[in-house]
A = this chain, B = another copy of it.
C-alpha cells in the first residue's frame, strides 16, 4: 500500500452566523484526498479528510511542509503490522523538524491529513472506522448508539427570540433531546431572555447547554454562572479564554453544574494542562478536544491515555466539530458522544444522509471507512471532485 497522490483544496464555509468571537462568513476549510495504489473490492482506496469549523483551511501549511515530508519519505518504513500504511508513523514523519509548543494552525493541517489516513486505512481493511478502532483500541467493543446534541443558537442579524425558539423546536422535532445555544454575543440580560426563551421550548434545564466561546473575563464568567445556576443547565461551555485555566478553576468552585471546554486546545500538552490546572471535575465535566484540529486521531489517542492516567474516563469526552470522523471515534473508542450541527456548517456538519436521531442518539452506518460517501451533499459537492 502506497500513497500515490495527495490532493488538497480550500473551500469557503459559507455562512452568515456568528458566535461571540467569529463571523463565519469569512471562514475557510481544507479538504484533502489521499489516493493510494491499493485496490479493495475492485476499488482504489482513497481517504478523505477536512478540518472542522472555526480555525480556517490550512492548505498552504500542507503544501509547504507536511505533504512534502510525506512525498520525501520511504513509505515502506510506514507499513504497520497489518501490512497497511500506519497513520501513527506518518503522523510522526509529518512532525519532523517541528519545534515543540505553538500548537495551532499546523495542528489543523496535520489533523486534516490524519483524518484522510484513517479513512483510507479502514477502507483498506474493508471495515467502518468505528469497527477498526474498537478492534484495535477498545477490546472490540463499540457503541451501537452514540449520544449527539444539536449545536445551534448562533447569533445572526435580525434573529429574534421567536426565531431562536423555532430553531430549537426544529431540533427536537429531528429527534434531539439536548440542544446548545451561544451566549456572550449580547449582554447578560439579553442572553438571560434568550436562555429563558429556549427553556420554554425544551422544558428542562438539563436539555440545554450554553456556550460562551471563551469570551468572558473572570467577572463576567462569574456573573453568567450566577445567572444560569438556577436553571441547572446541561453544561456551561468555554466561559473564559481556553488557556485561562484559572477562570475555569474558579468557576468549578462556585458553579455546581457541569462545565465543558477543550475545543481550542490542540495538543496533548495543552489538554494535560487543562486537567492539571483547571479544576475540571471528572464526575461531571466534559472535554471537547477535536481530533482534526489537534494533529488528528493519533494525538487524540495520546490524549485519551493521558486522561486515563489522570483518572478520567473516555466517556467524559464529547468532541467539538459535528463531523463523521469524531462520530466514528466516539462509537469505536467509547466516548460520551459527539457534537452535531443539524442546521449549520453545511456540507461539512452532519452525518450520513439516512442517519436518524432517536431520543438524542444515532447509529452509524456499516460501510468501509468514515462513511463520507453516504453524506451526499459533502460527497457530491466536494469530495467526489478531488
Contact = CB atoms under 8 A, between A and B. Distances in A.
Interface in A60-92: 60-61, 64-65
B54 A60 contact: no
A264 B56 contact: no
Interface stretch (A18-26, A136-144, A338-346, A357-365): A18-26
Contacts of A160: none
A288 to B, nearest CB: 12
Interface string A249-280: 00000000000000011110110110011000
A36 to B, nearest CB: 26
Contact of A55 (B99, B243, B264): B99
A245 interface: yes
A244 interface: yes
Nearest to A62: B60
Contact of A102 (B22, B57, B103, B269): B103
Contacts of A293: 102
Interface string A125-139: 000000000000000
Nearest to A215: B100
Interface stretch (A104-112, A147-155, A165-173, A369-377): A104-112
B246 A269 contact: no
Contacts of A269: 241, 243-244
Contacts of A106: 104-105
A213 B99 contact: yes
A266 B104 CA distance: 10
Contact of A100 (B21, B97, B277): B21
Contacts of A243: 100-101, 103, 267, 269-270, 272-273
Interface string A27-64: 11000000000000000000000000011110111001
The interface size bin for chain A is 35 or more
Nearest to A240: B100
Contacts of A103: 102, 104, 243
A97 B264 contact: no
A97 B241 contact: no
B214 A100 contact: yes
Given A26-B97, A97-B26, A102 B266 contact: yes
Nearest to A213: B99
Contacts of A26: 97
Given A245-B273, A269-B244, A102 B107 contact: yes
A328 to B, nearest CB: 24
Contacts of A28: 64
Given A97-B26, A213-B99, A56 B60 contact: no
Contacts of A107: 102, 104
A242 interface: yes
A266 B102 CA distance: 6
Interface string A189-221: 000000000000000000000000110000000
B99 A22 contact: yes
Q: Which 9 A-B pairs have the closest CB atoms?
A: A60-B60, A102-B104, A101-B264, A105-B105, A101-B242, A243-B269, A104-B104, A100-B214, A100-B241
17 contacts: A21-B97, A22-B98, A22-B99, A23-B96, A23-B97, A56-B65, A61-B105, A99-B213, A100-B213, A100-B214, A100-B243, A100-B264, A101-B104, A101-B264, A102-B293, A273-B273, A276-B277
